[in-house]
Amino acid sequence: MSQAQVVDVPESDPRVKQMLKVIKNYQKRPDALVQVLHAVQDTFGYLPMNLIRVVSKELHIPPSRVFGVVTFYYYFSLKPKGEHNCLVCTGTACYVKGAQKIIDQISASFGVKDGQTTPDNKLGLQTARCIGCCGLAPAVVLDNEILPRTDPAQITGLINARLGAKK
C-alpha cells in the first residue's frame, strides 16, 4: 500500500496555461470557483496545492475559502489518485446497509486501505460521509460512476474487471 503524497505541478507545465485560460473564460468570477476546481481536477487528476494558490489569487478568493470548498466535496482530491478510484459512502444510510463490509472486502482483495492507493497506483480507495443519494444505499462511486445498492462481491468483481485481471 502506498500513501499518496501531495505533489506540486511546475508552473511551466503547459496544462497550467490551459487552466489559466479556463479561469479567463470565467472572467475570473469568484462564483466560478467550483467549475474552475473541476477543470483543474479533470486536467491533473487531483488539485495540486500550488495551483490551488493560483486559483485563489486569480479568482480573488482567500485560500482558506478555496480549501473549505475543496475539502467539502468528496470529488476533489489534494493528492494524486489511483488510475481507478473507488469511493465507498460511509454515511448513516450506507453504513447500516453494509458499507463497512464493502470496505473490508476491497481492502482484503486488493490490499488497499481508506485514503491509500495500491503500490502500482492502479486503485485508490476513499470513503465519504454521505454522497447525497441515501435512497441508493449502500452507494459506491467507481471512477465517477455512482453504483446503487451495491454489495461486496459485486464491487470487487467490477474493480477486477476494470483492473483487467484478477488479483
Identified binder of ligand FES from the candidate list 33, 131, 158, 159, rule CB under 6 A: 131
CB of 13 to ligand FES, least distance (A): 35
Q: Is residue 106 near ligand FES by the rule CB under 6 A?
A: no
Residues in the chain: 167
**Do the beta carbons of residue 76 and residue 68 sit within 8 Å?**
no
- Determine the residue with CB nearest ligand FES: 91
Identified binder of ligand FES from the candidate list 92, 104, 108, 149, rule CB under 6 A: 92
What is the strand order of the sheet 140-142 is part of? 116-117, 123-128, 84-89, 140-142, 145-147
Q: Is residue 130 near ligand FES by the rule CB under 6 A?
A: yes
CB of 98 to ligand FES, least distance (A): 11
Identified binder of ligand FES from the candidate list 133, 147, 151, 163, rule CB under 6 A: 133
Query: For residue 110, what is its C-alpha cell?
Result: 486488493
> How would you classify residue 89: left for phi > 0, otherwise alpha for psi between -120 and 50, otherwise beta?
beta
Residues with Cβ within 8 Å of residue 87, at least 6 apart in sequence = 74, 125, 126, 127, 128, 131, 140, 141, 142
Q: Is residue 89 near ligand FES by the rule CB under 6 A?
A: yes
The site that binds ligand FES (CB under 6 A) totals a number of residues, namely 12
Pick between residue 49 and residue 130 the one whose CB is nearest to ligand FES: 130
Pick between residue 51 and residue 137 the one whose CB is nearest to ligand FES: 137
Q: Is residue 140 near ligand FES by the rule CB under 6 A?
A: no
**Do the beta carbons of residue 86 and residue 125 sit within 8 Å?**
yes
Measure CA 109 to chain center: 21
Residues lying near ligand FES in the complex (CB under 6 A) are found at 89, 91-94, 130-134, 137, 139
